[in-house]
């Protein structure tokens, strides 16, 4: 009986939190968004292209403001390979990469 009471208490707290979030999203002037579900407007960083080198190794071309960064991702972390002004990278990109950049934080 005690276990049922504890589980019911946890369920009620989670239901109250969920209901509060729903109410705040509907009624409040403050806006909440789910990760990866936001708008792209105003973002300064985007992943333009990714090249997988192996299961745990990849190269990323990232646009950050007016700069282009090449970042190596490996099991030990990340390493900055190169950083140049964005117009230098843009002239070398294939047409597909120019068309559809991916915003950082979105599922890939």
- Over residues 81-104, the pLDDT tens digits come to 999 998 887 777 666 555 555 555
Distance of CA 62 to the CA centre of its chain: 13
Spatial separation of the C-alpha atoms in residues 55 and 20, rounded to whole Å: 41
Q: Is the pLDDT of residue 70 over 80?
A: yes
Domains of the chain by residue range: 1-34, 45-103
Instruction: Give me the percent of the chain exceeding a pLDDT of 90.
Output: 33
Spatial separation of the C-alpha atoms in residues 69 and 47, rounded to whole Å: 10
- Over residues 19-68, the pLDDT tens digits come to 988 887 777 665 555 565 555 556 788 888 899 999 899 999 999 888 89
Angle at 40 between CA 35 and CA 42, to 5 degrees: 110
The pLDDT of residue 33 is: 59
DSSP 55: S
């Amino acid at each position: 009986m005690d276990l049922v009471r504890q589980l019911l208490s946890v369920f009620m707290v989670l239901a109250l939190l969920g209901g509060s979030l729903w109410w705040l999203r509907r009624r409040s002037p403050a806006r909440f968004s789910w990760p990866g579900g936001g708008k792209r407007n105003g973002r300064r960083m985007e992943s333009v292209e990714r090249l997988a080198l192996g299961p745990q190794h990849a190269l990323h071309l990232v646009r950050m403001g007016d700069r282009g960064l090449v970042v190596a991702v490996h099991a030990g972390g990340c390493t900055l390979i190169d950083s140049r002004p964005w117009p230098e990278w843009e002239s070398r990109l294939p047409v597909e990469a120019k068309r559809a950049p991916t915003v950082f934080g979105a599922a890939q």
